[in-house]
Amino acid sequence: MDEPGSLSFAHGARKVAPFSIAVLGFGMSFGVLARPTMGPIAPIVMSATTFAGSAQFAAASILGAGGTLAAAVVAAVLLNARYAPIGLSVAPSLSGPWWSRFLRAQLVVDETWALSADGRGGHDPKIIVGAGVVLYAAWVAGTALGVLFGDLIGDPARLGLDAAFPALFLALLMPNLVRSRSRVAAILGAAIALALTPIAPAGVPIVAAGLACLIGWRRR
């Protein structure tokens, strides 16, 4: 069963431990922030099925700001579009029956993708599963705690939790700014979003900002 050179599931679980504590808090803030707009059950179901933090925050914040369903869904799907090439990059490392490859692919998120990289362009499938299961449990449990906790703490704005959205997006953004072209895309995306905010419905500026990635079309 052991693939040569493959590390254990427990190793993946240990590697992801510091992240899972943060993800538990991240999930709690998602539960707290999504509940007023989405109700108590939908945020938990979303965390259990979508399992992609930034997209869930984007969808919930667009709905919370009075944006349309289409804007929320398009923005979330655009945010998750990176999982198409990420999925392709992991594909050669995931063997076995189709359903097993499909299920394990659901555990691939930014953190498990980064942690499972072997430095030679491959990914350890046991790290993906070991780290992924721990992170998934933390994300769903955190969301449930946030939904319950939300009742006790009342209005998130009073506690400054509305600033958690931009803070978390900033934390997710920083590792994406290593290359100079990424920084240009980030500045362009922010500029498009801010320029359109006063004139377009909520959500549309975010979707339009996604077009900034087209600067990658030019060779260099």
Partner 1 sequence: MSDAWWTVVLVGSATIAIKGAGPLLMGGKPLPPRIGRVIGLLAPALLAALVAISTFGGERALVLDERALGVAGAAVAIALKAPPLVVVVVAAMVTALARAL
Residues 18-47 that bind partner 1 (CB under 8 A): 18, 21-26, 29, 37-39, 42, 45-46
Residue from 73, 137, 145, 148 in contact with partner 1 (CB under 8 A): 73
- Contact between 15 and partner 1 per CB under 8 A: no
Amino acid making up residue 39: G
Give the phi and the psi of residue 123 in degrees, each rounded to 5.
-135, 135
- Contact between 131 and partner 1 per CB under 8 A: no
User: x/- site string to partner 1, residues 50 to 69, per CB under 8 A?
Assistant: xxx-xxxxxx-x-x-xx--x
Beta carbons within 8 Å of 57's beta carbon, 6+ residues apart: 30, 33, 165, 168, 169
Residue from 3, 10, 49, 114 in contact with partner 1 (CB under 8 A): 49
- For 73, the token pair is 């869904």
Residue 3: CB minimum distance to partner 1, A = 16
In angstroms, the Cα distances linking 213 to 75, 82, 187, 202 are 14, 11, 11, 20
- For 28, the token pair is 């709690």
- Contact between 153 and partner 1 per CB under 8 A: no
Residue 89: CB minimum distance to partner 1, A = 7
